[in-house]
Amino acid sequence: MKKTFISLLCLALCTLTTVASNRTRSNVPWVIYQKDYLGKWEGTDNKGQLGALTFYSDGSMVMVQGGETLGAKKGEIKEGDIPITYEFNFAKDPVWLDVIVSDYTGKELGRLRLIVKFIAKDKMLCRMGDMMAQRPDGFDENDKKNTILLTKVSK
């Protein structure tokens, strides 16, 4: 009886582990395990302006929107630059991306809460809410104003 219970428990745990790992891998397999999100991603917004996000392995990032550049790679921040970092949450579906704005001392000033969907190794759909601090629940194909398709242009 005891051996049967232990066997069933092991079988249940193996099944749960397989389901959980398959779910994670099926959502964004290359991104989680190879960190292919690192690098520069570019796209054109609904107004025809170039937008770009560059993710560095140290957690820093650069954002470009309509000719304005925010952020810099850690160690390259100059006086007057606004430090920006990022956090991906791959446990969420769609994936959560927080863009964190800080002051020069590192104190957090605010977060831009986005969702992203990795369509391919070099394609990422990115959406923000109408209010920058509010994360959208999902993607809406009719929302061209807050959604941008980014293509990876460099590592």
Which residues partner with 115 through β-bridges? 96, 127
Whether 47 and 19 map to the same domain: the answer is no
The first and second tokens of residue 92, run together, are 């969420």
CA neighbours within 13 Å on the CB side: how many for 24? 11
Q: What is the pLDDT of residue 34?
A: 63
H helix runs in the chain, sequence order: 2-27, 29-34
Parallel/antiparallel/unpaired status of strands 50-55 and 39-44: antiparallel
The mean pLDDT of 132-148, rounded to a whole number, is: 88
- Provide the whole-model pTM: 0.76
The mean pLDDT of the chain is 78
Whether 81 and 7 map to the same domain: the answer is no
C-beta atoms surrounding 122 within 10 Å? 13
**Of the listed ranges 22-26, 107-111, 136-140, the one predicted with least confidence:** 22-26
Whether 99 and 146 map to the same domain: the answer is yes
Whether 19 and 95 map to the same domain: the answer is no
Q: What is the pLDDT of residues 28-72, one digit of tens each?
A: 555 555 688 999 999 998 889 999 999 999 999 999 988 888 888
Whether 116 and 60 map to the same domain: the answer is yes
Whether 90 and 14 map to the same domain: the answer is no
C-beta atoms surrounding 12 within 10 Å? 10
* Domain extent for 24: 1-29
Whether 9 and 65 map to the same domain: the answer is no
Q: What is the pLDDT of residue 100?
A: 94
